Amino acid sequence: MHYFSDNATPICPSVMTALAAADHPDRAYDGDQWSARLDAAFSALFDAPVSALWVATGTAANCIALATLCPPYGGILCHEEAHVEVDEGGAPGFFTHGAKLMTLPGTGARLTPGTVEARLATIRDDVHQVPARALTITNATEYGLVYTPDEVAALGALAAAHGLGFHMDGARFANAVAHLGCHPADLGWRAGVDALSFGCVKNGGMVGEALLFFGPRAAARAAEARRWRKRSGHLFSKGRYLAAQILALLEDDLWIANGRAANAAAQALARAIPDRLMHPVQANELFVRLSAEQAATLRAQGFDFYDWGEGAARLVTNWAQNAEDLAPLAQALAQLDPR
Amino acid sequence: MHYFSDNATPICPSVMTALAAADHPDRAYDGDQWSARLDAAFSALFDAPVSALWVATGTAANCIALATLCPPYGGILCHEEAHVEVDEGGAPGFFTHGAKLMTLPGTGARLTPGTVEARLATIRDDVHQVPARALTITNATEYGLVYTPDEVAALGALAAAHGLGFHMDGARFANAVAHLGCHPADLGWRAGVDALSFGCVKNGGMVGEALLFFGPRAAARAAEARRWRKRSGHLFSKGRYLAAQILALLEDDLWIANGRAANAAAQALARAIPDRLMHPVQANELFVRLSAEQAATLRAQGFDFYDWGEGAARLVTNWAQNAEDLAPLAQALAQLDPR
Amino acid sequence: MHYFSDNATPICPSVMTALAAADHPDRAYDGDQWSARLDAAFSALFDAPVSALWVATGTAANCIALATLCPPYGGILCHEEAHVEVDEGGAPGFFTHGAKLMTLPGTGARLTPGTVEARLATIRDDVHQVPARALTITNATEYGLVYTPDEVAALGALAAAHGLGFHMDGARFANAVAHLGCHPADLGWRAGVDALSFGCVKNGGMVGEALLFFGPRAAARAAEARRWRKRSGHLFSKGRYLAAQILALLEDDLWIANGRAANAAAQALARAIPDRLMHPVQANELFVRLSAEQAATLRAQGFDFYDWGEGAARLVTNWAQNAEDLAPLAQALAQLDPR
Amino acid sequence: MHYFSDNATPICPSVMTALAAADHPDRAYDGDQWSARLDAAFSALFDAPVSALWVATGTAANCIALATLCPPYGGILCHEEAHVEVDEGGAPGFFTHGAKLMTLPGTGARLTPGTVEARLATIRDDVHQVPARALTITNATEYGLVYTPDEVAALGALAAAHGLGFHMDGARFANAVAHLGCHPADLGWRAGVDALSFGCVKNGGMVGEALLFFGPRAAARAAEARRWRKRSGHLFSKGRYLAAQILALLEDDLWIANGRAANAAAQALARAIPDRLMHPVQANELFVRLSAEQAATLRAQGFDFYDWGEGAARLVTNWAQNAEDLAPLAQALAQLDPR
């Protein structure tokens, strides 16, 4: 019973079926029929022209996006607990050739126009200081919070006003959209987002994430991103198996259904422990006050999860969990001594 | 009927079965039980301690290897038609932070100790010139030729004498071993190879290649390579699906059986056109004299392949082709006007 | 009357004389007789074997040092107001190929073992997080404060215990030594410093700073640093003119005399405005509470300086100022309304 | 009696005078009055708007230029014996973040439109191959040959047609212009050159070269180059001393006078040994057939120079040599056994 992460989940059955269906000879790299359908599929989903690429991982999607949005001598505004800052092993520095992550505070790993503007105001416009050239946010955030379309749009407007490329790490984009019930475009191009890492693996895929570009420069940026993709060793020779997975998740809105399922699972757990929650539960992550003793008790019952600093733990749910799967943990949590 | 490349092939049934078998929750990244078995499986295969990592692609395997063997200010000796030089979109420069590919001539994309030594002799030992720090060869080569164990060992000895890390691009390692009938270690650590890109995708895998390190520094280099793997976005969160594929190919020597099958397919075609061959056929590639008209004739019959300069074409066979599959092309080739 | 920075100062007469004395044909790059004397001159000064290189600027000295101490996938602990973080236009990211500056708080741009250890404790030992590999401090700091030998040694011991290379940005090393009255080695190898940027330009030089390596790995690191120096375009063809300047500053301890003179100038100003000082004045910088109106008043009298946030200003003195030069500003400061 | 290189020469007296004249406090970096005059001075010289920066060395000038003209994933066409390829210690790979030098053959280190076009024709337009994005030539070349305005213009037109940025390494630009007697603009913007490394140090300067940008994108590229200059540690804090040197060389066309003097010196030597010359002598370098024994004879008489492969040597003259200085070597050469 793993609650480490949604990336420990098995593969969604439809994805497995799609892999089998794609198992015929075709052109290599992204010359195949499945890869060729990605732009159209995402354009339909987002109700606007989208340029889409598959890459190996979320780290690659994020960092290729940032490399297209920020020059090596530029800076990228992000939250101080953002995945790109904390958990990508220096990949942003690698892909951008040394661009600077400029970290900002904010509760729940959320940025606001105010914190972004305050930081921009401190940067002198001379060559001694790194100029901000991009802004990246994670939605849902690293604490499972969801930016609303208006909140994203406010940051998008700010980015546009300051000439910053705007990227969204959407490793849990499905969970964000599922929570909001909005149109995906409301968190994308309509809010000024230039590039979106559209998460698939946590949503039921096996390998491969989608990197999307929006807006008038989408095609040019995607062309450049294709150079970066090859250059960083992410151009799979049998790319059709990545494209097929992504298309399977888009088919009949499976991705959003999976996002809803994972969110519902988180709510089921949240109901068991309303007083332990450190953040509102909006997507599929719970941050829970838990003593070392309580954590040990749960682990002894077979539940796995990450500690999150002292006296706290992170529980992540996924699309594959139903009420029956969750009951044991919900029950175990409810039975903990309330302190 | 694709003869573009062995990377257009479907997935080997055993690999598909392995993916299904791995389809259970487990630890993320490479913390799972399948990834944990890689070192032992390759150590058994190579009869010596091996440190093994999965990565997305052959380009990534090659370039992460080179990044561990060569500092940013160093040079990497390679053939002027090597895949790293010609077909990786600048990835070696990216991963090594600007190390220099030092290209050498040689028939059939093969290096010899003589050409390597001659080049080393031209490099002044001062900071104005880039010092050679690594040597990379491809086996089987880009022209389907196979270095023997003795030939590799001679280059390995030279590399050791000059302090060069020695890497082998084994995208078609299985075909090389199948051709030679040697022990895989004879092309690996026994010949002084420090790092081997062990090809899986052309051999029946879906996604993912293995990067192997040999010798006393294997573990330290692999530890560093793991940093590079994360840093370049190649640390898949569901890594078990890559490990499972690789293990499936190692099981019961499936990889070598697949190598033999692809080689046999190439021989079957070669027998139909002995007079058109531009290189001996040792692995699974044929380089064939073919006029533009003849190429068009074949394409009109449904055969796909790459032109290889003027008046020539490349045909690549794969593990999935049997006599029946090959007969139409063999026949079509035999029927061409001999000129 | 510039108080912007000590880098606005003219050239020390002895340096000018040395340039003329070096004005004869000699071997290019660092093959000349002046460059050849650097190691011996600094070894004598530091009472231990030192490997020394000239480079163009302090930024280059700092960043070449960091590139030799930290791998591209590593992290460099520094103060959040350190010059490398704030004022080098991203140069550390460039030279280190994307290594991460890990910023730490501390009054007066000073680090303590406590803040360093606290940060080290937060870094998980896995590939998702960037491992700290180097520590850099500035002495005198960006606020003109001076680390004592004991304070440096405590950080040096910590660095050694954690496998961190230890670098000191000594753009104002002369001012620090002059303030302490200690032996230069007490702030260098005796305190565990591996690499020191020994500032010359602020101390009376025209162009060029010295980069020094101490300890058992000094020669090997200097050899690598020479590769980086060439690779970053810092190997001047007429290097003798840089070496000659540096040697001139070392001659008869001119460097320390200049440091003392600049410090004395700062004290002279400090005495005029004891109540306005935001930090103790230890080296040659004064950080002064000053309203916008007061700043304007001073500027109207011909004094130039940088604002330092709201309600504050930075005044920097230099080796060339004597009591007579300073009197007008001291007087103008003293005459300001005390509020 | 050094004939190693023109970079072993002393400083031109006017440059020394200029250094003394600039020896007053001023704004740091390039905020001073001398630096501010560079654009105008070069615009006057080239009869068109020029954006000009000083940097430490020719390597830095070349590589910053290339970094502004070529993206990290691009390629730079150059001669296989070009300084950037052979003698810059990998600096182009460093500054461009791994862009590929694409080397071309040609007698006397000269490129022709034919060789450039032939190479361009071999590059497939797909992400597997590095796309050419820049072209760089050296004028005068590494063998002392001079491209005429028409020859440069032909390459410039080709570059423009293929979307290549066009850079000229003018370490010996003065010698080229002096040889041709043309207007400097004829080898610059009029011939389609985008960026020119305008050599000063070989021409009588102490430290610092000028990097010039021409054409409609000059200002934007120079702004970007300023970022690279800071980022690579080339923004001297006392930049006025570099600007003053450059301005001194431009004053009264001293630079061209110096170029003429160095060329005349080369001609004087050439006349002594017409039968030994391996290349026409157009600028200030002589490549001379010389047996090991003959080389030893000359060295025994106190003449220093580089061997240039077996049986050959390179002699470089400079602006400071007059007939009297040259007579001993001319005589010694003339007295060698003719074989």
pLDDT tens digits along A238-262: 999 999 999 999 999 999 999 999 9
Instruction: Flag if B56 and A234 touch (Cβ within 8 Å).
Output: yes
Min distance C294 CA to chain B CA atoms (Å):
50
Min distance D26 CA to chain C CA atoms (Å):
6
Instruction: Flag if D28 and C11 touch (Cβ within 8 Å).
Output: no
Is residue D235 less than 8 Å (CB to CB) from chain C? Answer: yes
Angle at A287 between CA A284 and CA A293, to 5 degrees: 130
Is residue C56 less than 8 Å (CB to CB) from chain D? Answer: yes
pLDDT lower than 70: segments of chain D: 339
Chain B residues close to C231, C-beta within 8 Å: 72-73
Interface mutation target, options C86, C124, C314, chain A, most CBs of A under 10 Å: C86
Chain C residues close to D26, C-beta within 8 Å: 2, 8
Tokens representing residue C60 in the block = 């280059």
Q: Which chains touch B (3 or more CB pairs under 8 A)?
A: A, C, D
Is residue B279 less than 8 Å (CB to CB) from chain C? Answer: no
* β-strand pairing of C285-289 with C195-198: unpaired
Q: Compute the average pLDDT of residues B138-152.
A: 98
Residue D167: how many other CB atoms lie within 10 Å = 30
Min distance D165 CA to chain C CA atoms (Å):
21
Band (pLDDT 50/70/90 cuts) for residue C333 is very high
Instruction: Flag if B99 and D93 touch (Cβ within 8 Å).
Output: yes
Rounded CA separation D24/C10 (Å): 5
Rounded CA separation B5/B137 (Å): 20
Instruction: Flag if B207 and A202 touch (Cβ within 8 Å).
Output: no
Interface mutation target, options D73, D80, D96, D103, chain B, most CBs of B under 10 Å: D73
Min distance A207 CA to chain D CA atoms (Å):
22
| pLDDT given for residue D146 in this prediction | 98
What values do phi and psi take at B216, rounded to 5?
A: -65, -25
- Closest-CA residue of chain B to D131: B89
- How many contacts, defined by CB atoms under 8 Å, are there between B and C? 32
Chain D residues close to C16, C-beta within 8 Å: 19-20, 23
Positive/negative CA dihedral, B124, D303, D256, C236:
positive
Chain D residues close to A228, C-beta within 8 Å: 73
What residue spans of chain B are helical by DSSP H? 13-21, 33-36, 38-46, 58-69, 83-86, 91-95, 113-122, 149-161, 173-180, 218-231, 240-250, 254-272, 292-300, 323-334
Chain D residues close to B98, C-beta within 8 Å: 90, 92-94, 96-98
Instruction: Flag if C60 and D25 touch (Cβ within 8 Å).
Output: no
Of A5, A11, A232, the CB nearest to B233: A232
- How many contacts, defined by CB atoms under 8 Å, are there between A and C? 62
pLDDT tens for A5-39 read: 888 788 999 999 999 999 988 889 999 999 999 99
Chain B residues close to C127, C-beta within 8 Å: 226-227, 229-230, 235
Q: Compute the average pLDDT of residues A205-221.
A: 97
- How many contacts, defined by CB atoms under 8 Å, are there between A and D? 32
Q: Compute the average pLDDT of residues C15-39.
A: 94
Min distance A214 CA to chain B CA atoms (Å):
23
Of D128, D231, D235, the CB nearest to A73: D231
Is residue A307 less than 8 Å (CB to CB) from chain C? Answer: no
Is residue B87 less than 8 Å (CB to CB) from chain D? Answer: yes
Band (pLDDT 50/70/90 cuts) for residue B25 is confident
Contact B15, B249 (CB under 8 A): yes
Residue D107: how many other CB atoms lie within 10 Å = 10
B260 pLDDT exceeds 70? yes
Rounded to a whole number of angstroms, the distance between the first and last alpha carbons of chain A is 24
Mean pLDDT, chain A, whole residue set:
96
Rounded to a whole number of angstroms, the distance between the first and last alpha carbons of chain C is 24
| pLDDT given for residue C339 in this prediction | 67
Q: Compute the average pLDDT of residues A70-86.
A: 98
- Closest-CA residue of chain D to B86: D129
Instruction: Flag if C127 and B230 touch (Cβ within 8 Å).
Output: yes
Residue B299: how many other CB atoms lie within 10 Å = 12
- Closest-CA residue of chain B to C227: B127
Is residue C230 less than 8 Å (CB to CB) from chain B? Answer: yes
- Closest-CA residue of chain A to B64: A233
Interface of B with C in 98-127 (CB under 8 A): 127
Least-confidence region, from A307-321, C89-103, D71-85: A307-321
This prediction has a pTM of 0.97
Min distance D32 CA to chain A CA atoms (Å):
15
Angle at A228 between CA A223 and CA A233, to 5 degrees: 130
Instruction: Flag if C73 and B226 touch (Cβ within 8 Å).
Output: no
Min distance D235 CA to chain A CA atoms (Å):
9
Is residue D241 less than 8 Å (CB to CB) from chain C? Answer: yes
Is residue B16 less than 8 Å (CB to CB) from chain A? Answer: yes
Interface mutation target, options C63, C95, C129, C130, chain A, most CBs of A under 10 Å: C130
DSSP-derived secondary structure letter, B130? P
Rounded CA separation C316/B27 (Å): 57
| pLDDT given for residue B50 in this prediction | 98
A104 pLDDT exceeds 70? yes
Is residue D207 less than 8 Å (CB to CB) from chain C? Answer: yes
Chain D residues close to C9, C-beta within 8 Å: 25
- Provide DSSP, B245-293: HHHHHHGGGHHHHHHHHHHHHHHHHHHH-GGGBSS---SSEEEEE--HH
Min distance A215 CA to chain D CA atoms (Å):
23
Min distance D45 CA to chain B CA atoms (Å):
32
pLDDT tens for C197-251 read: 999 999 999 999 999 999 999 999 999 999 999 999 999 999 999 999 999 999 9
Contact C121, C104 (CB under 8 A): no
Min distance B71 CA to chain D CA atoms (Å):
11
Q: Which chains touch C (3 or more CB pairs under 8 A)?
A: A, B, D
Rounded CA separation D207/A30 (Å): 51
Rounded CA separation B95/A232 (Å): 7
- Closest-CA residue of chain A to C308: A122
Length of chain D: 339
